[in-house]
């Protein structure tokens, strides 16, 4: 068998292993190691297995991942985000579907201190859904809104997906963050439009609430937002002001979250240890997958399968529009079955050369890719955010009802993807001005 044949057979074996539910990190490492053994012999295979993990994890920028995760878990377990939702709820009470819109604002705020879509959904689910059910919101609207609002956590900085993409694609993390701000705010605005349209078409989805909220109550609610606002200002002010790097921002954000939680008397040893455990487990899982993807990149490069597939894709879809449509369809399909970071790392060794050869901006593509991965978080049958919300509501709402609730938001997401593809400057302008 030729080298390219071995590479393609390895990819087929990888897909088969993932299909039978082998953990994606283990599948990536196993297939890459075996492929390198067949190509270059046992000595090279063992050498790659010992060198590649060190080379990848020694990247200093990766140290920001556990720090941003720790900041998010501390904020979640000490309930630093509750005031943000309450303030949005009070100020938006007069709008149709005000509580649903408030959950979107709350999720956008929590996204700025978590970087995790799942943590964002879990936090807002526990705060917002009981409030909406209490005020007789339709369960599909309540759960669907919070499930999709959580996906904003993958886009608005600090985004774990953007950090990993930046390391793999060698794109500035700060510029990715700036591009993510624009796309994240567009996403939040799009979701708000969906809520307004749905409630306008069917007012029974969100019964009117008592709108007699005094100005004094509104400003009192704003005072409850200071914990998250302080952390956000500290991180983004220092990061985009050039005071510290994205790597240092993670540690500073985690420290600020701990200090604020202690000041508010919400920090306990049990909450601290729980946040630390979840941070270690999540970081370890992410790094295993990323190491496997690095080994796969080495295997595909040595076999020539990566260049073979990239050239084949470019020859089939020579038209840029058709090429982009094909990439979008691939990620939408993969999002139905794979978790987002796994789907990204599995495909980047093949897709990045295609993007580079097409002359597209890797910065712009990173934002579009993250948007596509967001959609995968809410599409059946996997839809991780949907199952997070299901774990929050229990038997109160069926899983199928939550999926029905997110359908209209998926339509909006696809419209947003089309806008980002048609107008790349929406993403590139802010990084060019401030980067």
Q: Over 60: is that where the pLDDT of 210 sits?
A: no
CA angle 168, 170, 174 (to 5 degrees): 110
Domain ranges of the chain: 59-267+304-434
pLDDT in tens, 143-156: 999 989 888 888 88
CA distance 375 to 329: 12
Q: Is residue 75 within 8 Å of 113, Cβ to Cβ?
A: yes
Average pLDDT, the chain: 84
Residue 45, both tokens? 């295979």
Residue 188's pLDDT band (cuts 50, 70, 90): very high
- Residue partners of 247: CB distance under 8 A and separation at least 6: 60, 61, 63, 64
Segment 31-37 long-range contacts (CB within 8 Å, at least 24 positions apart): 31/296, 31/299, 32/292, 32/295, 32/296, 32/298, 32/299, 33/295, 34/10, 35/6, 35/7, 35/10, 35/299, 35/303, 36/295, 36/298, 36/299, 36/302
pLDDT at 420: 94
Residue 215's pLDDT band (cuts 50, 70, 90): confident
3-state secondary structure 317-383: CCCHHHHHHHHHHHHHHHHCCCCHHHHHHHHHHHHHHHHHHCCCCHHHHHHHHHHHHHHHCCCCCCC
Please state, as a whole number, how many other Cβ atoms lie within 10 Å of the Cβ of residue 59: 12
pLDDT in tens, 338-365: 778 878 888 888 888 888 888 899 999 9
- Which DSSP string do the residues of 55-123 spell out, in sequence order? HHHT-GGGGHHHHHHHHHHHHHHTTTTHHHHHHHHHHTTTSTTHHHHHHHHHHHHHHTTT--HHHHHHH
Residue 46, both tokens? 């063992």
pLDDT in tens, 36-72: 898 888 888 898 888 888 877 777 777 888 888 888 8
pLDDT at 326: 86
pLDDT in tens, 18-35: 778 788 788 888 988 998
- Please give the residue that has the higher pLDDT: either 196 or 21: 196
CA distance 147 to 151: 7
Average pLDDT (138-167) is 88
- Residue partners of 47: CB distance under 8 A and separation at least 6: none
pLDDT at 317: 65
How much is the pTM?
0.84
């Amino acid at each position: 068998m030729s080298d390219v044949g071995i590479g393609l057979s390895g990819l087929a074996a990888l897909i088969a292993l993932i299909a039978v539910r082998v953990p994606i990190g283990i599948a990536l490492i196993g297939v890459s190691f075996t492929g390198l053994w067949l190509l270059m012999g046992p000595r090279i295979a063992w050498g790659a297995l010992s060198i590649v993990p060190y080379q990848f994890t020694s990247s200093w920028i990766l140290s920001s991942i556990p720090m941003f995760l720790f900041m998010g878990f501390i904020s979640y377990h000490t309930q630093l985000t509750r005031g943000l939702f309450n303030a949005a709820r009070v100020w938006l009470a007069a709008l149709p579907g005000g509580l649903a819109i408030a959950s979107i604002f709350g999720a956008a705020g929590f996204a700025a201190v978590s970087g995790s879509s799942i943590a964002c959904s879990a936090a807002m689910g526990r705060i917002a859904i009981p409030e909406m059910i209490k005020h007789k919101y339709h369960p599909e609207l309540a759960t669907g809104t919070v499930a999709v609002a959580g996906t904003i956590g993958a886009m608005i900085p600090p985004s774990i997906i953007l950090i990993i993409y930046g390391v793999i694609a060698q794109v500035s993390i700060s510029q990715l963050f700036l591009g993510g701000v624009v796309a994240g705010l567009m996403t939040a605005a799009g979701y708000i439009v969906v809520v307004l349209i749905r409630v306008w078409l069917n007012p029974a989805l969100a019964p009117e609430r008592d709108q007699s909220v005094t100005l004094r109550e509104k400003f009192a609610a704003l005072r409850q937002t200071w914990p998250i606002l302080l952390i956000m200002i500290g991180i983004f002010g220092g990061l985009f002001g050039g005071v510290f790097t994205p790597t240092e921002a993670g540690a500073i954000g985690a420290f600020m979250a701990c200090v604020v939680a202690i000041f508010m008397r919400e920090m306990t040893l049990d909450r601290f240890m729980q946040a630390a455990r979840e941070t270690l487990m999540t970081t370890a899982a992410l790094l295993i997958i990323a190491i496997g993807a690095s080994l796969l990149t080495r295997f595909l490069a040595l076999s020539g399968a990566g260049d073979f597939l990239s050239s084949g894709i470019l020859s089939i879809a020579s038209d840029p529009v058709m090429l982009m449509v094909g990439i979008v369809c691939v990620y939408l399909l993969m999002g139905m079955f794979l978790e987002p970071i796994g789907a990204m790392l599995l495909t980047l060794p093949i897709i990045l050369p295609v993007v580079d050869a097409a002359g597209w901006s890797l910065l712009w593509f990173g934002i579009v890719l993250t948007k596509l991965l967001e959609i995968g978080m809410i599409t059946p049958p996997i839809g991780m955010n949907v199952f997070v919300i299901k774990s929050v509501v229990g038997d109160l709402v069926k899983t199928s009802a939550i999926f029905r609730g997110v359908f209209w938001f998926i339509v909006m997401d696809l419209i947003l993807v089309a806008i980002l593809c048609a107008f790349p400057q929406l993403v590139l302008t802010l990084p060019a001005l401030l980067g």
